[in-house]
């Protein structure tokens, strides 16, 4: 499996990463997630899988992005993907999404789903690049802004889609190198 070039590393999120992840959360969403929610995800939710993208160096890593998903029967539900604003538009969001989609094949599941705010065109473009299609919407789903949720699905997670992911991986590796 492709790994990000040093000094970057993709690894499982731990409780020690929460300060970094929550700082990105605050810079990324109108209503940041609560620490308790992440603690539950990491320690009390066996369906949850979270990763961080860290820049190694010095005595502590700095977290530049994170992502997570749940495995619900035959479905991977992507619950989070965010990159620190200083690090956006360099391919890291794509790396986090692609890594999760490749991980889906290890469970295995048949489809990947997510919700995204109607106004979040950057994220919708990222998901579109990975062949997520609109599967529905929920009016006023986000209570903080009243924004609608767009439901998106990538399916089936079959052999041709896996090949597509590998090709994307090769292109991204060249970009990040
Ligand atoms: C969405 C997000 C994760 C993208 O991360 P990123 O590292 O900037 O994205 P990348 O550089 O890997 O870009 C990958 C693709 O995403 C899309 N994209 C990313 N930023 C975009 C922007 N500002 N406008 C339009 N498309 C954008 C493009 O399709 C891009 O492909 P390209 O490079 O071929 O144009 C980032 O903007 C973010 O953290 N946003 C706040 C959190 C969030 O909204 N998360 C999603 C919740 S559903």
How far apart CA 133 and CA 150 sit, in angstroms, is 10
What is the residue extent of each domain of the chain? Answer: 8-176
Q: In which element (H, E) is residue 56 found?
A: none
Say yes or no: domain 8-176 is CATH 3.30.420.130: no
How far apart CA 120 and CA 147 sit, in angstroms, is 10
What is the model's pTM? 0.97
Out of 68, 82, 89, 144, mutate this one to test ligand 1's pocket (max ligand atoms within 8 Å of CB): namely: 89
Sign of the CA dihedral with 27 first, then 6, 105, and 36 last: negative
> CB of 22 closer than 6 A to ligand 1?
no
**Each residue of 77-129: pLDDT tens digit?**
999 999 999 999 999 999 999 999 999 999 989 999 999 999 999 999 999 99
Sign of the CA dihedral with 173 first, then 133, 128, and 92 last: negative
**Residue in 127, 130, 142, 161 annotated catalytic:** 127
């Amino acid at each position: 499996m492709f790994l990000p070039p040093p000094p970057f590393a993709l690894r499982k999120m731990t409780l020690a990463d929460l300060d970094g992840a929550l700082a990105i959360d605050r810079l990324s969403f109108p209503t940041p997630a609560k620490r308790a929610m992440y603690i539950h995800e990491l320690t009390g939710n066996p369906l949850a899988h979270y990763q961080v993208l860290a820049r190694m160096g010095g005595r502590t890593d700095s977290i530049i992005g994170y992502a997570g998903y749940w495995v619900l029967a035959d479905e991977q539900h992507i619950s989070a993907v965010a990159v620190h604003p200083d690090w956006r538009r360099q391919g890291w969001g794509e790396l986090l999404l692609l890594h999760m989609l490749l991980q889906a094949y290890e469970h295995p599941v048949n489809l990947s789903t997510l919700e995204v705010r109607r106004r979040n065109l950057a994220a919708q473009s990222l998901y579109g690049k990975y062949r997520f299609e609109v599967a529905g919407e929920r009016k006023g789903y986000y209570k903080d802004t009243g924004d609608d949720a767009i439901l998106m699905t990538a399916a089936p997670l079959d052999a041709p889609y896996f090949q597509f992911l590998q090709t994307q991986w090769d292109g991204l590796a060249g970009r990040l190198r």
